[in-house]
A = this chain, B = another copy of it.
């Protein structure tokens, strides 16, 4: 029984994730049923790794609740955060021999896990899904290029402003207020700056009246207009 309920939950999540990407594809409901049949929910505590950089890429992951962070670390202790993933985002789509980053739970979370072998079967069965999946990969690639542009061309404070606008858009649910699930250090490692520089950026944006900081993690964008122009 509880398994049946889980399947319904999984299917709802898959629909809200894949449905948005694949809704115009014929047989959309059929392939989501097949995915749901195989998909599993797995829980991770804050700080645990969902997968690691050198693992064989056996699964595709979708956060159902909670947030993930994709990162790469070096022996020398430096770390680059590649992306933050929230409910319904996808991870591990296009890895070949091994993941090229680790996925760490930012919060306690439940993650839907789909075997890549099954995905491949579905692609063979529904070529239109395979095509759309490739489009999704292309979209992710273009997001990373955006990030690369920002890293190469913008100052630290501008990068922080971009980041906050992105978070407002993805976490704000249509409002200007959102709760960040990551630390200042995570943000700094995402934007290629020191923790202190990130913190000073927050302080300056607050002092200038572009954002308000209700608590360390609870942010409101109080002047979108100015924040946007500040970011460019």
Inter-subunit contact A120/B131 (CB<8 Å): yes
User: Beyond A130-B130, A140-B141, is A151–B153 a contact (Cβ under 8 Å)?
Assistant: no
For A133-163 the 0/1 string (1 means CB < 8 A from B) is 1110111111011111101110000000000
Nearest CB in chain B: distance from A185 CB, A = 13
| Cα–Cα distance between A190 and B152 once the two chains are bound (Å) | 8
Cross-interface CB contact of A149 among B72, B142, B146, cutoff 8 Å? B72
| Cα–Cα distance between A152 and B186 once the two chains are bound (Å) | 13
| Cα–Cα distance between A232 and B96 once the two chains are bound (Å) | 25
Chain B residue contacts of A141, Cβ below 8 A: 94, 100, 137, 140-141, 144
Inter-subunit contact A78/B127 (CB<8 Å): no
**Which residue of the partner chain B has the closest CB to A127?**
B124
Q: Could you tell me the dominant secondary structure of chain A's interface residues?
A: helix
Give the interface size bracket for A toward B. 35 or more
| Cα–Cα distance between A162 and B127 once the two chains are bound (Å) | 40
Inter-subunit contact A144/B134 (CB<8 Å): no
Check A101 for interface membership: any CB of B closer than 8 A. Answer: yes
* CB-CB nearest 5 A-B residue pairs: A152-B192, A94-B138, A100-B142, A151-B151, A80-B149
16 contacts across the A-B interface (CB closer than 8 A) = A74-B153, A82-B145, A82-B148, A95-B138, A96-B135, A96-B142, A100-B141, A100-B142, A123-B127, A123-B131, A124-B127, A127-B127, A130-B130, A148-B151, A152-B189, A152-B192
